[in-house]
Structure 1
Amino acid sequence: MRQIQKVVILGGGTAGWMSAALMKKVLGDTVSITLIESDEIGTVGVGEATIPPIRLVNNVLGLNESEFLKETKATIKLAIRFENWKRPGESYFHTFGVPGKSMAFCHFHHVLARGQKLGVEDDLWAYDLNYHCAVAGKFAQINSQDPIMEMPFAYHFDAGLYAQFLRKISEKAGVKRIEGKVQQVLRGQNGDISALVLENSRKIDGEIFIDCSGFKGLLIEQTLGTGFDDWSHWLPCDSAIAVPSEHHQQTVPYTRSIAHKAGWQWQIPLQHRNGNGHVFCSRYITDEEARSVLMENLETKALAEPRLIRFTTGRRRRQWNRNVVAIGLSSGFLEPLESTSIHLIQSGIVRLLQLFPQHDIKPAMVEEYNRQSQLEFEQIRDFLVLHYYLNEREEDFWNDMRHVQVPELLAHKIALFKENGKLFREQNDLFLESSWLQVMVGQGIKPQEYHPLVNTLPDAAIIKMLTQLKAKKLEPVFHLPSHDDYIRHMLSR
């Protein structure tokens, strides 16, 4: 047996430098880590909205939040606002919070359903602290032992600046960066990759190779021919146009997702600019039309020419193949509807660290890595499909999405919720029951029944419970600073 001592990362950007930073922090000097990248090769760099697990990465790396906010031009994210998704003119929030307070064996929305039958007019979000703070533009971390006061949050940040920040941390910790382009990939007698040869003929050998080369998948696909599962029959959008614009005078602590006739538009507020893009399906709209939709719906002045990105939704059939692990876009792509792109980088490298071999790579660990990766991609895929499938819009694209034959497990989830409001989280599903609940309710599903457990409470007790919960969720909002004041305070520290 030979001990694993050399890890080579191909590609920079968020995927490469997050991989380098986390591996160096966790593995220390037990392995040497070399990252190869070329300044001539650009990155996609539009993954600017995140979800709460990004804070775990920052904590593991020991990042100072004030420094992080300053270096990445970050703002706070409490939710995503979905506009026009059910039908034009209607909107709802998917927040990171949990509405209300659940009973044993019974989620809160069952209590609310009975309350609504008794005349309560409030919707689900009236009992969500994240929602109230998002619409009020308020934020500060709340120190409370009461779980009802939890306000999970994430960040919007400049992905390019985040990669630079991680690079600085990585190189300081001992990661070796080499500038160059790969000219040749060498393989050993057993078929594993043994070394990368650069254009200047320099040879970089390693025992595990991390492929962060983006869509092209230079190692995982072009060299090893791993194969790709195409999911465009479920998620047919295949293009995006992205453009930065001037920042708003006041930033909101949430991402906006705005449906259009053949796709949707994102708006992400940063300290120094806004991130904007239009994800669309080229079968229903031309590139020029898609560009016009985006530019006509910008709320601030564009700061650059729009750029076009092509993609195919799906995943590599084996994200760990031989001695190559694909991280980031080389491992697959799911459109950024729920801000999962950077999270998939994070989870991919965390999974590798959990299974990292001391000696030779063993088949069982590779199979477990691939099993978990496949499950994670499929669960996120189903959650994205849910948004499209439950629509009431009339355009051709949306009509076709409403008639997609959805994956079997997703169809079961929808049917179960329609019948009696039941929600069950699959093992290791990234999205909690509260996330599924908000999207299903926001897209128009009203369960036929509620849980019989709530009938054990008198009418007056139901009304009192809802009244007190709403008041408690609202109480902190009045005392919190504005989101922008919070950012200014953190930057001044």
Structure 2
Amino acid sequence: MTAVQRVLVVGSDSHAWLAAAALKRAFHRRGLDVCVLDLGATGDAPVARWTLPSLLGMLSLLGIKETDFVRRTDATFKLATEHRGWQSATSRFLHAHGELGIELAGVPFYRYLLQQAVRRSKERHELYSLAAMAARSGRFARPMSHSRLTSSFTYALHVPEASCAAYLREHAERLGVRRIEGRLEHVALAPSGDIDELILANAGRAKADFYVDCSGRAGRLIGRVCDAPRDDWSAWLPNDRMLSAAAAPIDDARAVTETIAQETGWLWRLPLARSSAVGFVYNSAFLSDEAAIERLVSFGAVRSEDVSRTVLSQGRRQRFWERNCVALGEAALEIEPLAGASLHFTQLGIATFIEMFPIARDTRLETIEYNRTVGEYADSLRDFTIAHYMTSARSDAYWAAARAAAPPLRLQHKMDLYAATGRIELLDNEVFDETDWAWLLLGSGAFPDRIGLHSQSTLSNLRSGDLVGLRESIERLAATMPRHMDFVRQHG
């Protein structure tokens, strides 16, 4: 068997450069040669991304200073996502990053809020989150470790795709990652079925022991070595188009991603340091592309010629790792950006691959375990995204169609158990934790019929008045934070 000494990453976006930098950083003492075949822009990515807090940890592991990354990429901070119009024309709720309340004698705080709702004494759950209160009021500060409350939240970033990819490329090259340019003409296979080499335009060739496919939705490499069909999620996630565009800056912008439900899809908007970005995710069976572009142009005050257009085919590979090729980014999974987890899913794939990095070319056991683990990550991301539509109360034909298909069995079980007991069951390798699900279910007004007996007993004597001090402390701390955009300019 031949040990893996050379890895070729194929792609040009943030997924590709994140993978290349992570592999080089992880195995630099082993002398692993990492090269990126830069294919140029694929048009798959939106003009900007909202992320999850895990990106900050990944940047730190790569040796990247957060302040430098934020300043040089035109990024801003993200404390929450605000979902508007998902229940009714005037409804809105936040999904904030970080804790919700405090643990009560071993019982998660969200169950107290559920008990209050069951008792018809519903409370505003956002009042018990420092991240949510700061986000609502347009304020931001990094967590501080000197008290439980000031360390009770975390945050993510809004970042333009082009500047993010450029920054990661520069950093990867400093780490020793090589870069070549070329147009991929053909993927040549060895008699074993492994990828032997890549044939480029102008008779060029690129050869490695292992290949990382970040070529976008086309999956130029993984599609050549793996003939397994994709899992098609369109029955549950029927949106098949995504538009995005750069827009003018937002005055005094909050650290918030906005999603705004429409009768045929949902719009989004996020702030950047010197601009903003807008987008529209929709189903072409309910709205023509021309009408969708007009909607986005009106919403974002952008020009139609500046709108980036992407065709979505939501689903995932059944096998992400096949022979000497692993797929990351859109080559592995296509899903609308509602949960902001695109880069997070790639990070999970990278981390799992590094853990199972092949010692030799015979990778049958590692491949099986990788595909099982990453498949569970993918399905949990799918379920969390579907749950936004399941819990919507809108009656438009588009929304009714999105709820028409019976949900995946694992999601149906989760929702049934929650409805019966107020318990949020987490399976292995879930992307979102119990608190994330609580934010979604509380915000959408999806309350259980009852909560479990143990929670009832523990919380039986607790009343809203007992928590006045907690609410006041959160409100007071949020008010002391600087304005979000002031923080970006001064401390980014």
Check whether TM > 0.5. yes
Please say which of residues 413-422 and 317-326 is displaced more in the overlay.
413-422
- Does the CA-based 8 Å contact 2:36-2:177 persist in structure 1? yes
For 1:131 and 1:117, the matched residues in 2 are separated by 23
- Does the CA-based 8 Å contact 2:236-2:403 persist in structure 1? no
- Aligned position for 2:332: 331
- Does the CA-based 8 Å contact 1:220-1:226 persist in structure 2? no
- Aligned position for 2:232: 230
For 1:152, which of 141, 154, 166 is the aligned residue? 154
User: Is 1:434 the counterpart of 2:435 in the alignment?
Assistant: yes
**Deviation of 1:357 (Å):** 1.5
- Aligned position for 2:403: 402
- Aligned position for 1:65: 66
- Does the CA-based 8 Å contact 1:185-1:223 persist in structure 2? no
**Deviation of 1:117 (Å):** 7.5
**What per-residue deviation string (whole Å, max 9, x for no partner) do you get for residues 330-352 of structure 1?**
11211100101111121111111
- Aligned position for 1:77: 78
SS of the equivalent of 1:111 reads helix
- Aligned position for 1:139: 140
Q: 1:446 to 1:455 in 2, by over 3 A?
A: closer
**What per-residue deviation string (whole Å, max 9, x for no partner) do you get for residues 182-238 of structure 1?**
222221121100111211222221111001111111111145434311110110000
Please say which of residues 72-81 and 346-355 is displaced more in the overlay.
346-355
Please say which of residues 82-91 and 218-227 is displaced more in the overlay.
218-227
- Does the CA-based 8 Å contact 1:243-1:304 persist in structure 2? no
- Aligned position for 2:6: 6
- Aligned position for 1:195: 197
User: Is 1:89 the counterpart of 2:97 in the alignment?
Assistant: no
SS of the equivalent of 1:295 reads helix
**Deviation of 1:304 (Å):** 5.3
**What per-residue deviation string (whole Å, max 9, x for no partner) do you get for residues 354-381 of structure 1?**
1102222321100111001110111110
Q: 1:433 to 1:197 in 2, by over 3 A?
A: same
- Does the CA-based 8 Å contact 2:317-2:332 persist in structure 1? yes
- Does the CA-based 8 Å contact 2:117-2:447 persist in structure 1? no
- Aligned position for 1:258: 260
- Aligned position for 2:112: 111
Structure 2: runs of 5+ lacking an equivalent: none
Q: Structure 1 vs Structure 2: percent identity of aligned residues?
A: 28
Q: 1:144 to 1:465 in 2, by over 3 A?
A: farther
SS of the equivalent of 2:211 reads strand
- Aligned position for 1:369: 370
Q: 1:117 to 1:304 in 2, by over 3 A?
A: same
User: Is 1:289 the counterpart of 2:305 in the alignment?
Assistant: no
For 2:207, which of 205, 208, 211 is the aligned residue? 205
For 2:376 and 2:87, the matched residues in 1 are separated by 28
Q: 1:419 to 1:226 in 2, by over 3 A?
A: closer
SS of the equivalent of 2:273 reads coil
For 1:74 and 1:487, the matched residues in 2 are separated by 8
- Does the CA-based 8 Å contact 1:8-1:34 persist in structure 2? yes
- Aligned position for 1:178: 180
For 2:145 and 2:275, the matched residues in 1 are separated by 33
**Deviation of 1:467 (Å):** 1.4
For 1:114 and 1:5, the matched residues in 2 are separated by 57
Please say which of residues 159-168 and 467-476 is displaced more in the overlay.
467-476
SS of the equivalent of 2:389 reads helix
- Does the CA-based 8 Å contact 2:143-2:153 persist in structure 1? yes
**Deviation of 1:424 (Å):** 2.1
- Aligned position for 2:488: 487
- Aligned position for 1:425: 426
- Does the CA-based 8 Å contact 1:247-1:270 persist in structure 2? yes
- Aligned position for 1:44: 45
Q: 1:264 to 1:157 in 2, by over 3 A?
A: same
Please say which of residues 449-458 and 83-92 is displaced more in the overlay.
449-458
User: Is 1:348 the counterpart of 2:349 in the alignment?
Assistant: yes
- Does the CA-based 8 Å contact 1:21-1:61 persist in structure 2? yes
Q: TM-score, normalised by structure 1?
A: 0.94
Q: 1:455 to 1:326 in 2, by over 3 A?
A: closer
For 1:352 and 1:421, the matched residues in 2 are separated by 36
SS of the equivalent of 2:165 reads helix
SS of the equivalent of 2:186 reads strand
- Aligned position for 1:161: 163
SS of the equivalent of 1:200 reads helix
For 2:462 and 2:445, the matched residues in 1 are separated by 28
Q: Which residue identity lines up with residue 292 of structure 1 in the other structure? A: E
- Aligned position for 1:317: 318
- Aligned position for 1:216: 218
For 1:241 and 1:116, the matched residues in 2 are separated by 38
For 1:281 and 1:94, the matched residues in 2 are separated by 24
For 2:211 and 2:416, the matched residues in 1 are separated by 43
For 1:110 and 1:67, the matched residues in 2 are separated by 40
SS of the equivalent of 2:202 reads coil
Structure 1: runs of 5+ lacking an equivalent: none
For 1:321 and 1:117, the matched residues in 2 are separated by 49
**Deviation of 1:54 (Å):** 0.4
**What per-residue deviation string (whole Å, max 9, x for no partner) do you get for residues 75-100 of structure 1?**
00011100111121101111112211
**Deviation of 1:388 (Å):** 0.7
Please say which of residues 45-54 and 253-262 is displaced more in the overlay.
45-54
For 1:227 and 1:454, the matched residues in 2 are separated by 44
**Deviation of 1:57 (Å):** 0.8
RMSD: 2.1
Q: TM-score, normalised by structure 2?
A: 0.94
